[in-house]
């Protein structure tokens, strides 16, 4: 099974691109954010834990994410491949992901990071707030906090990933089809 990582800041379009690639590649699109929302909606024990952190605008602790991530990977082990959307988010999560994959005889086939300037991210956040219906999208302070957390915690994780494997950097400016074409080209060459 192929494992494709797509990283990038909040509002960079990675979720949209993952959905497109899911259809084109026949891979399962795994958004840890979507799965967290699902667990919360079902009020599972792990979902309740995660809700407490999200309401504070904080990242879910690594040990909780490790439990959820391993569960997700095992649920999809019969798939042709999976696209991990927005995970790992911290340096410890990089190590956790690699440990889980090794434990299950898997490895990352390719990692792509989508880059978008902060001012564009904030514009996109406002647009998404108008259409998403998600409560966590409605607060402008939350938008800025998410971007700040990305720069503080996730950007270093991406740099750490670059010391372990190739990470392809993609300019995330342009139309959805233009970005899709860039990603499609990268995946085909991999």
Res 66: pLDDT: 87
Rounded Cα–Cα distance for residues 61 and 92 (Å) = 10
**pLDDT tens per residue across all 190 residues of the chain:** 889 999 999 999 999 999 999 999 999 999 887 888 899 899 999 999 888 887 887 877 878 888 899 999 999 989 999 999 988 989 999 999 999 999 999 999 999 999 999 889 988 888 876 776 655 566 677 788 889 999 999 999 999 999 999 999 999 999 999 999 999 999 888 6
Work out whether strand 167-171 and strand 110-115 pair parallel, antiparallel, or are unpaired. Answer: parallel
Which residue, 112, 89, 85, is CA-closest to 28? 85
Rounded Cα–Cα distance for residues 87 and 65 (Å) = 10
If residue 132 lies in a helix (H) or strand (E), which one and from where to where? helix 118-132
Instruction: Give Cβ neighbours of residue 181 (< 8 Å, ≥ 6 apart).
Output: none
Helix 62-75 vs helix 91-103: angle between axes, to the nearest 10 degrees? 30
Domain locations in the chain as residue ranges: 2-183
pTM of this structure: 0.84
Instruction: Write out the CATH class of domain 2-183.
Output: alpha beta
Tokens of 80: 């042709």
Res 7: pLDDT: 94
Q: How far is CA 104 from the centre of its chain?
A: 20
* In contact, 113 and 104? CB cutoff 8 Å: no
Res 133: pLDDT: 63
Instruction: Give Cβ neighbours of residue 95 (< 8 Å, ≥ 6 apart).
Output: none
To the nearest 10°, report the CA torsion of 145, 147, 149, 152.
Answer: -130
Phi, psi torsion values for 139, nearest 5 degrees: -105, 120
- Cα torsion angle, 146, 72, 17, 113, sign: positive
């Amino acid at each position: 099974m192929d494992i494709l990582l797509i990283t990038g800041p909040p509002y960079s379009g990675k979720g949209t691109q993952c959905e497109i690639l899911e259809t084109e590649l026949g891979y399962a699109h795994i958004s840890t954010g979507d799965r967290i929302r699902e667990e919360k909606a079902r009020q599972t024990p792990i979902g309740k834990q995660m809700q407490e952190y999200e309401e504070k605008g904080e990242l879910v602790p690594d040990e909780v994410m490790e439990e959820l991530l391993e569960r997700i990977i095992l649920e999809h082990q019969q798939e042709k491949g999976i696209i991990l959307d927005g995970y790992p988010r911290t340096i410890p999560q990089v190590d956790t992901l690699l440990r889980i994959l090794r434990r299950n005889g898997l490895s990352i086939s390719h990692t792509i990071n989508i880059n978008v300037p902060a001012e564009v991210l904030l514009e996109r956040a406002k647009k998404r707030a108008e259409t998403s219906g998600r409560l966590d999208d409605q607060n402008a302070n939350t938008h800025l906090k998410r971007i700040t957390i990305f720069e503080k915690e996730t950007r270093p994780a991406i740099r750490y990933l670059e010391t372990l494997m190739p990470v392809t950097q993609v300019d995330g400016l342009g139309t959805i089809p233009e970005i899709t074409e860039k990603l499609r080209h990268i995946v085909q060459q991999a």
